[in-house]
Structure formats: structure tokens, C-alpha cells
Homo-oligomer: A and B are copies of this chain.
Amino acid sequence: MLKSFLEIEQQVKDEKQRTIAVAMAEDSDILVALERARSQGLAKAILTGEKAKILSILSENQIDGKEYDIIDSAGEKESVAEAVSLVRHKKAQVLMKGLCSTSVFLKGLLDKENGLRSGKIISHLALFESPNYHKLLMMSDAAMNIAPDISEKICIIENALNAAHKIGYHNPKVAIISAVEKVNPTGIPSSADAAIIAKMADRGQIKGGIIDGPLALDNALSLQSCEIKGLKTPVGGETDICIVPNIETGNAFYKLLTILGNAKVAGIIVGAKSPVVLTSRADSEESKYLSILTALKAS
């Protein structure tokens, strides 16, 4: 059980140093977040993009350009291909998106010949440190899969479990979220999907975690709420990973906890051959750093 990002930071410090390949690194926020990781000995970075521009941004931020390998590459597509290729050839363990557009980046990541496909769908995994929960809380998928069908949901769970194992969880508790804890097979499809997936886990068809659902979020996060309802579930109040039924729920979850819940957050893409950091302009510098940290730990 991990209680804070500080624990992850300490563990990454103690482990073998990894390397991050950054596609189109000419972005001030991202270089500052990378330098925060590098200067503490957490990771090295190889930057692709316009070398002169990258050096100038580094210098503007009082960062020593000599600390970075920079591969001069003109163009968005080329920079992405370079960075992806570094991970493919094991010269880096984490891939990170810089200034390039998300669609070009994902195209490079998922390229059939030269990309980092693992055969599974990719999914977004968020990791929260909330002042009101007793440990870190993971949630998927807030960003990549819009309305996953049941096979995709299972893939999302497996992606999250694989990442959680790498982060250090042995048998994390997974809550498959619906609006209710009672199965409503015809009325609420997300509750029926959750029931099917939970029973598949019982039968050993999904491994690596303690999986139950459907659960409403209060059941997942509060044992008291389970007790009031007389609900017996092995994940009640102790959930490590929430699997939400659709992107709207995930997105609201993410935004509410960060904007109104004072939570710290990291987000990574999982399901490819390496963890991927894909932050958006709206993410804080802190969140970009924590995402790098989480990807390093998950690699």
C-alpha cells in the first residue's frame, strides 16, 4: 500500500536510473518538470526536437543543456518517431509527449511497424493523493476510451493491474464502478457489465487483483457506507483502483478531485510496451512532475 507520491519518489531514487525519451521537447513546462526529476537523480532524458530551440528554452530556465542528450529532428512526426524508436530499442524506458499534437503522438506510439503496441488497447490511468483518503487511489479511464464495451473494460482493468504491479502493488483491490451496488441488468448496463466482470474475476479469468463490482463510489471508498447498506465486498472502503464505466464519469472524477478535492494527481498511458507520459497544457507543473515519477515507477 502506498500512501503518498513521496513514497514513490523515494523508491524511484533508490532504484536503477531510467531514461525518458521526449518527443518534441521544446516546451518550457515539460523541460522544467524533467529537470526536477533529473536534478534529483531520478532519471535521465533524451530529448528530440529542434535542438537550438530546446537549448534556448533550457538556458532561459537556468538549466544546463549539457545534462541532456538532444537529438536534432525537424518536424513533429520525425521527432515522435525518434522518441518512440529510442524506447523500442531499449535506450529509454518511458516515452513522453512534448509540444507535438496528441494525434501525431498517438499515431507514432501505435504505429504498426515502428510503434510500441503490445496487442492491447491503451488506456489512461490516473493516480490521486487525496487528503481525505488513507492511501493513493488509482482510476481508469478518464481520457482514452470513450464508452468501452465489456472486452475493453477488461483490457482497461488488466492494463491498470499491470501498471499497479510494477508500481509495487501485489494484489490491489479493484472496484468496478456503477451508479449502484445492486445489479440492475436491464436498467443500468454498467451494473450488468460490472457483475459479469466481477464473476469472471471470481472464476480466475482476470488475475492479479481482488476485483468486485458493481459498486457505487461511496461503497468503494467508505467502509461505513457499505455497513449502512449491509453490503459485503472485499474491496469496500479499501479500493486501490476504481474502474469507471465511461469517459464522462472518469473525466468528472479527475476534475472534481483536483479542482474541488485538493488532490494531487499523476496521469499516465498504459497498455503500450512502456508507460507513456502525456500531459496537457492545463496540467500543473506539479502534476507533470508526478506523472513523470509515476511513469518511471511503472516502467
Within the complex, the shortest CB–CB distance from A289 to chain B, in Å, comes to 18
Interface centre among A132, A222, A258, A282 (most CB of B within 10 A): A282
> Does the CB pair B249–A248 fall under 8 Å?
yes
Interfacial residues of chain A within 98-155, with CB under 8 A of chain B in the complex: 130, 132-133, 142-143, 146
Q: Does A278 contact B (CB under 8 A)?
A: no
Chain B: CB-nearest residue to A230: B281
Contact with B along A162-181 (1 / 0, CB 8 A): 00000000000000011110
Q: Does A247 contact B (CB under 8 A)?
A: yes
> Does the CB pair B218–A179 fall under 8 Å?
no
A137 to B56, CA, bound (A): 45
Interfacial residues of chain A within 230-267, with CB under 8 A of chain B in the complex: 244-253, 255-263
Within the complex, the shortest CB–CB distance from A3 to chain B, in Å, comes to 15
> Does the CB pair A133–B249 fall under 8 Å?
no
What B residues does A296 contact at CB under 8 A?
none
Which one of B179, B222, B229 contacts A247 once the chains associate, using CB atoms below 8 Å?
Answer: B179
Known interface pairs A247-B179, A249-B249, A251-B216; A260-B133 also in contact (CB < 8 Å) = yes
Q: Does A11 contact B (CB under 8 A)?
A: no
> Does the CB pair A229–B179 fall under 8 Å?
no
Chain B: CB-nearest residue to A143: B179
Within the complex, the shortest CB–CB distance from A24 to chain B, in Å, comes to 19
A interface residues, tally (CB under 8 Å): 42
> Does the CB pair B216–A259 fall under 8 Å?
no
How many copies altogether?
2
What B residues does A261 contact at CB under 8 A?
132, 256-257, 260-261
Chain B: CB-nearest residue to A132: B260
Q: Does A70 contact B (CB under 8 A)?
A: no
Within the complex, the shortest CB–CB distance from A231 to chain B, in Å, comes to 10
Within the complex, the shortest CB–CB distance from A194 to chain B, in Å, comes to 10
Which one of B179, B188, B257, B281 contacts A260 once the chains associate, using CB atoms below 8 Å?
Answer: B257
Q: Does A287 contact B (CB under 8 A)?
A: no
A244 to B250, CA, bound (A): 12
> Does the CB pair B244–A188 fall under 8 Å?
no
A253 to B259, CA, bound (A): 12
Give 16 new A-B contacts, CB below 8 A, not counting A217-B256, A221-B259. A130-B260, A132-B259, A132-B262, A178-B251, A179-B248, A217-B252, A217-B255, A217-B259, A218-B258, A228-B282, A244-B248, A246-B246, A248-B248, A249-B252, A260-B261, A261-B261
Q: Which residues of A line the B interface, CB within 8 A? A: 130, 132-133, 142-143, 146, 177-180, 187-188, 190, 216-218, 221-222, 225, 228-229, 244-253, 255-263, 281-282
